[in-house]
Amino acid sequence: MPHVVDHLQGMVQSLPAWPLGGRGPGLKRVGRAAKGLLLLAPLLTTLGASAGPFGLQNGMSLPDLKRQGGFTASSQEFVFTAAALASGHPDISSYDVLITPAQGLCQVKAVSKGIDTTADGLELHRRFKGLAEAMSGKYGPPSNVYDHLRMGSILHASHEWMTGLVKRDRVLIAEWSPPEPALLRDALSSIKMTATALSENRGQIEFDYRFGNYRECQAAIRAIINARTQL
């Protein structure tokens, strides 16, 4: 998808417009970040596949999903997991899907591989920003972006950015959620991207895609569970 690469190149020019903690990143850091964003192009192409996220579609059956990847049952009922997909990407470490017998696929969760970063979280923040801007190229601007320190936290220093994420004092989230009953492209009702910390120098990005049938899935799951408890 050439437009994705073109969009990334434009993003590189605008990198300083969203500074981390109000600090100038320096020319060397901007150069490294720009190179990293261009390397994200294959992943963003996968995320923006016309069939839906990672080639998965609203309402797919479990047999259809198993043809896309080696999905196996997880410890949570109705949730199946896979380490790789036919239309997935090597930068993603795992995929979880929520599926019910009647509604089929209604949610996809994916987690990136670990992202090495410095204590100020620069690389993780840059990766997150790059993905959010590229996703906006397909789904429009996010409905909400949360990039702040929680009230009352003492972790204000720039070198405590990752510490804040580890302790959950800091949040970095982007959400796409149109007013009901409108849907995003690919029959999605919402998308959520969240940056999380694995340690003070390593993080990851989590993706949560919910299709338009998500509420019906939840209602069906409640009905199945309630039926089991009836005498």
Domain boundaries, the chain: 2-229
| Distance separating alpha carbons of residues 89 and 68, to the nearest angstrom | 13
Please write the tens of the pLDDT for every residue from 141-168. 999 999 999 999 999 999 999 999 999 9
Q: Grade residue 226 by pLDDT with cuts at 50, 70 and 90.
A: very high
Q: Grade residue 231 by pLDDT with cuts at 50, 70 and 90.
A: low
Q: What is the mean pLDDT of residues 160-188?
A: 96
Please write the tens of the pLDDT for every residue from 83-96. 999 999 788 999 99
Q: Grade residue 51 by pLDDT with cuts at 50, 70 and 90.
A: confident
Please check the confidence at residue 4 and state whether its pLDDT lies above 70. no
Lowest mean pLDDT among 56-65, 137-146, 221-230: 221-230
Please check the confidence at residue 206 and state whether its pLDDT lies above 60. yes
Would you say how long the chain is, in residues? 231
Closest CA to 47 of 115, 139, 129: 139
Q: Grade residue 32 by pLDDT with cuts at 50, 70 and 90.
A: very low
- CA distances to 73, 111, 210 from 78, rounded to whole Å, are 8, 19, 15
| Identity of the amino acid at 17 | A
Q: Grade residue 43 by pLDDT with cuts at 50, 70 and 90.
A: low
Please check the confidence at residue 31 and state whether its pLDDT lies above 90. no
Q: Render the chain in DSSP notation, one character per residue.
A: -HHHHHHHHHHHHTGGGS-BTTB---HHHHHHHHHHHHHTHHHHHHHT-TTSGGG--TT--HHHHHHHB--EE-SSTTEEEES-BTT--TTEEEEEEEEETTTEEEEEEEEEPPEE--TT-HHHHHHHHHHHHHHHHHH-S-SEEEEEEPTT----SGGGHHHHHHTTSEEEEEEE-PSTT---GGGEEEEEEEEEEEETTEEEEEEEEEETTHHHHHHHHHHHHHHHH--
Q: Which residue has the higher pLDDT, 51 or 190?
A: 190
Please report the pLDDT score of residue 228 as a whole number: 86
Q: Is 155 exposed, middle or buried (0-12, 13-18, 19+ CB in 10 A)?
A: middle
pTM over 0.85: no
Could you tell me if 58 and 211 are in contact, meaning their C-beta atoms sit under 8 angstroms apart? Answer: yes
Q: Is 166 exposed, middle or buried (0-12, 13-18, 19+ CB in 10 A)?
A: middle
Please check the confidence at residue 44 and state whether its pLDDT lies above 80. no
For all residues of the chain together, what is the average pLDDT? Answer: 83
Please check the confidence at residue 35 and state whether its pLDDT lies above 50. no
Q: Grade residue 15 by pLDDT with cuts at 50, 70 and 90.
A: very low
Lowest mean pLDDT among 6-10, 150-154, 164-168, 220-224: 6-10
Please check the confidence at residue 63 and state whether its pLDDT lies above 90. yes
